[in-house]
Amino acid sequence: MEQGRELGLNRAATAYDQEGIATLLLSGCYIGYLPDHYAASFVQCGLLRPIGDPAFGYCCDFSAIVRRSPQPGRVVATFLETLLAAHSQCRQNPGPLLQ
């Protein structure tokens, strides 16, 4: 997002959810950010294409909060492990699963 400002791109529209951003991008009149997993089907169908410059990418941290006691059951533990596996590629040292 900072890159756009540095290049002198002006914000012409604002959307606060992925569906709204996708609608703007699919109109062909805007450029913007979508998570890779959300954009993948549009890219595969040829409706969107990535800008391609890694300078325009960024990673987001995700957090999950669980109770310490009682300890999480199998379903919660599996969810947390899956969340960590899916979203840890941007972080050098992902934090502990449970503390």
pLDDT in tens, 26-71: 999 998 889 888 999 999 999 999 887 777 777 777 778 888 889 8
* pLDDT of the residue at 60: 73
- Of the ranges 7-11, 27-31, 76-80, which one carries the lowest mean pLDDT score? 7-11
Compute CA distances 76 → 1, 27, 68, 84, whole Å: 34, 39, 12, 12
pTM of this structure? 0.62
In contact, 60 and 47? CB cutoff 8 Å: no
- Of the ranges 7-11, 19-23, 30-34, 57-61, which one carries the lowest mean pLDDT score? 57-61
* pLDDT of the residue at 49: 92
* pLDDT of the residue at 96: 46
Inform me whether the pLDDT recorded for 75 exceeds 90.
Answer: yes
* pLDDT of the residue at 55: 73
**Angle, nearest 10°, between helix axes 36-44 and 18-26?**
30
In contact, 18 and 35? CB cutoff 8 Å: yes
Domain boundaries along the sequence of the chain: 2-56, 61-99
Confidence of residue 97 (pLDDT cuts 50, 70, 90): very low
Q: How far apart are CA 29 and CA 91, in angstroms?
A: 33
